[in-house]
A and B are shown apart, each in its own frame.
Chain A
Amino acid sequence: MIILTVEQTIQWMKEIHKRMEVNKEQLTTLDQAIGDGDHGINMERGFAEVVDKINNTDYDTVADVLKSAAMTLTAKVGGASGPLYGTAFLKMATALQDKEVNQQNFKVAIDEALEGIKMRGKAEFGEKTMYDVWYQAAAFLDSEKVEDWQELIEACQATIEDTRALIATKGRASYLKERAIGHVDPGSMSSFYMFEALVSVLELEV
């Protein structure tokens, strides 16, 4: 069964942008606590550009939409999150090339995105980065057939809460050592919004 169409993928990007816009302050505040305070600004700017690009382009495949998003994020975001998200979406696009997006193929795409983030950032699970949320999302998709996509949101939600208790060993937050404890990782939070946005479009009637 197809779970994601071109239309839905476009909508997914728009839903991400909405969330980045609404939560720009929150992400920036999280990044001010354990980073350099630019994460919300970076993400909002990046996805505004993605939406702009998408609005002005015609797409035939889901892979093309994702590729467009990847290129735009890589070129417009900067920071650590630009290359990381750019690589994640590019890997998804490559995995979905010439394929319809059923749950099986989508799972493979998320696995590839996860590998991409790892290749770029060299992070492992539990280092208090966005990798943690993608790892959890990939693990969730391993389950047979998803009945309730809300559970994906819950799994991601639990993971961002888990990052609170961790010391960061990658990224800017690593400089803080113990002082990072008690703070949610900003990149995990923005990744959460991406999956929350995804679920919101998966549940649309098509």
Chain B
Amino acid sequence: MKKVLNSTDQVVEEMLDGFVTAHADSVKRIPDTTVIARKDAPVSGKVGLVSGGGSGHEPAHGGYVGKGMLDAAVVGEVFTSPTPDQVLEGIKATDSGSGVLLIIKNYTGDVMNFDMAAELAEAEGITVEKVIVNDDVAVEDSTFTTGRRGIAGTVFVHKIAGAIAESGASLAEVKAAAEKVIKNVRSMGVALESCTVPAAGKPSFTLKEDEVEIGIGIHGEPGIERVPLQSANEITSTLVAKILADIDYTNSEVAVLVNGMGATPEMELFIVHRQVAKMLGEKGINIYKTWVGEYMTSLEMTGFSISLLKLDDQLKEALDGQSDAIAFRL
């Protein structure tokens, strides 16, 4: 696998460096950490929003830092959750005294590292709440197991919690809004080709020439099944049907996110969206807003995911709120 690199163990460091250099007008890096924060953080009187996770999902999570979305993103090694001390730095950099909400994707590693960070922050007198995003319907929801993963639907949590926080809401109110999004967002993905973690040097998994993996996670975790490659409409139908079967979208208004995993051209993403819109139309589900592009990638994986967020008036208003985040300007 050819990659544009200097050294595999400097990937994250050099990426962060390049990122803050490119966007020096709006973000800053907290010195000696892997935290990217709003340039004006901590914002006085506002609840701090901190998310993050492994790298390799760009523009997540640094791209969602900005007025109207996250106050800080904490970045880990490629596909590996950041460590508690780094998350703690993110919390400290964004707490203005109004408390901090952690937006965590449901992976064992992320949950444990963010939990430890929350414990450390509370020991320092900072009020911390957390929400855990689990939008991936490819995995069964269960309290006995690790449960559903958090994938691209997380972007909607960032956006809506961000808008609510910006309005001056309390930590409890911001948390409630984030949980409402989590309750109403569902996603599912598919992979056509694997990706290669730079330090691993070989593909995370292999698919046969004519095979796709339905239900893939954003780190190449296996999905529901491997099936022969089908048409865009057929794959899209499988994903949308599974999402619609999970919660009741009848007569609702939704936000749609068609997310490229890293190596699927936009051309194909629009072909996917065409079918999504057609299916929703047939079901009488009204599309309020659509995003098509790369929002939560898996390095150079070929594939895409679809997320549907069921909206109410509060969520619509928050979704429309201004955002200066580099990857989600509105």
- Residues B22-63 near A (CB distance < 8 A): 54
| B78 within 8 A of partner (CB) | yes
User: What is the distance, in angstroms, from A62's C-beta to the closest C-beta of chain B?
Assistant: 24
On whether the beta carbons of B145 and A83 are closer than 8 Å, the reply is no
On whether the beta carbons of B79 and A121 are closer than 8 Å, the reply is no
| B200 within 8 A of partner (CB) | yes
Select which of A32, A80, A172 is within 8 A of B205 by beta carbon.
A32
**Which residues in A have their C-beta under 8 angstroms from that of B112?**
80, 82-84, 120-121
| A126 within 8 A of partner (CB) | no
On whether the beta carbons of A170 and B146 are closer than 8 Å, the reply is yes
- Residues B182-213 near A (CB distance < 8 A): 197, 199-200, 202, 204-205
The chain A residue with its CB closest to the CB of B205 is A32
On whether the beta carbons of B222 and A38 are closer than 8 Å, the reply is no
State the CA gap A34–B272 with chains docked (Å).
29
Select which of B79, B83, B113, B223 is within 8 A of A36 by beta carbon.
B79
**Which residues in A have their C-beta under 8 angstroms from that of B107?**
80, 172
On whether the beta carbons of B108 and A41 are closer than 8 Å, the reply is no
Which segment, of A142-150, A174-182, A198-206, faces chain B?
A: A174-182
Which segment, of A69-77, A105-113, A189-197, faces chain B?
A: A69-77
**Which residues in A have their C-beta under 8 angstroms from that of B116?**
74, 83
State the CA gap A120–B144 with chains docked (Å).
15
User: What is the distance, in angstroms, from A191's C-beta to the closest C-beta of chain B?
Assistant: 16
State the CA gap A35–B107 with chains docked (Å).
11
On whether the beta carbons of B146 and A171 are closer than 8 Å, the reply is yes
**Which residues in B have their C-beta under 8 angstroms from that of A97?**
none
- Residues B140-184 near A (CB distance < 8 A): 144-146, 149
On whether the beta carbons of A171 and B108 are closer than 8 Å, the reply is yes
| A163 within 8 A of partner (CB) | no
Interface size, B (range): 35 or more
Most buried by A among B83, B115, B223: B83
The chain A residue with its CB closest to the CB of B215 is A175
Residues 75-89 of chain B, each 1 if its beta carbon lies under 8 Å from chain A, else 0: 011111111110000
| B139 within 8 A of partner (CB) | yes
**Which residues in B have their C-beta under 8 angstroms from that of A78?**
54, 76-77, 80-83, 109, 113
On whether the beta carbons of A36 and B221 are closer than 8 Å, the reply is yes
**Which residues in B have their C-beta under 8 angstroms from that of A175?**
138-139, 146, 149, 217, 221-223
On whether the beta carbons of A37 and B139 are closer than 8 Å, the reply is no
State the CA gap A204–B73 with chains docked (Å).
47
**Which residues in A have their C-beta under 8 angstroms from that of B144?**
169
| B219 within 8 A of partner (CB) | yes
**Which residues in B have their C-beta under 8 angstroms from that of A41?**
77, 80, 197, 199-200
**Which residues in B have their C-beta under 8 angstroms from that of A37?**
79, 197, 200, 204, 220
The chain B residue with its CB closest to the CB of A120 is B112
User: What is the distance, in angstroms, from A203's C-beta to the closest C-beta of chain B?
Assistant: 34
**Which residues in A have their C-beta under 8 angstroms from that of B109?**
78-83
**Which residues in A have their C-beta under 8 angstroms from that of B76?**
78-79
Contacts A169-B145, A175-B149 given: A79-B81 contact, CB under 8 Å? yes
On whether the beta carbons of B146 and A79 are closer than 8 Å, the reply is no
The chain B residue with its CB closest to the CB of A41 is B199
**Which residues in B have their C-beta under 8 angstroms from that of A79?**
76, 80-81, 109, 113
State the CA gap A3–B222 with chains docked (Å).
44
**Which residues in A have their C-beta under 8 angstroms from that of B222?**
175-176, 179
The chain A residue with its CB closest to the CB of B219 is A36
User: What is the distance, in angstroms, from A81's C-beta to the closest C-beta of chain B?
Assistant: 8
Residues 255-293 of chain B, each 1 if its beta carbon lies under 8 Å from chain A, else 0: 000000000000000000000000000000000000000
**Which residues in B have their C-beta under 8 angstroms from that of A159?**
none
**Which residues in A have their C-beta under 8 angstroms from that of B108?**
80, 121, 170-172
| A11 within 8 A of partner (CB) | no
Identify 11 residue pairs between A and B in the complex whose beta-carbon atoms are under 8 Å apart, listed by A's number: A36-B220, A38-B80, A38-B197, A45-B77, A78-B82, A78-B113, A80-B109, A120-B112, A121-B108, A175-B222, A175-B223
Given A36-B79, A172-B146, 20 other A-B residues pairs in contact with their CB atoms under 8 A: A36-B221, A37-B204, A38-B200, A42-B80, A74-B84, A75-B83, A75-B85, A78-B54, A78-B80, A78-B83, A80-B108, A82-B113, A83-B84, A83-B112, A83-B113, A120-B112, A170-B145, A172-B108, A175-B223, A176-B221
Listed in ascending order, the chain A residues whose CB lies under 8 Å from chain B are 28, 32, 35-38, 41-42, 45, 74-84, 120-121, 169-172, 174-176, 179
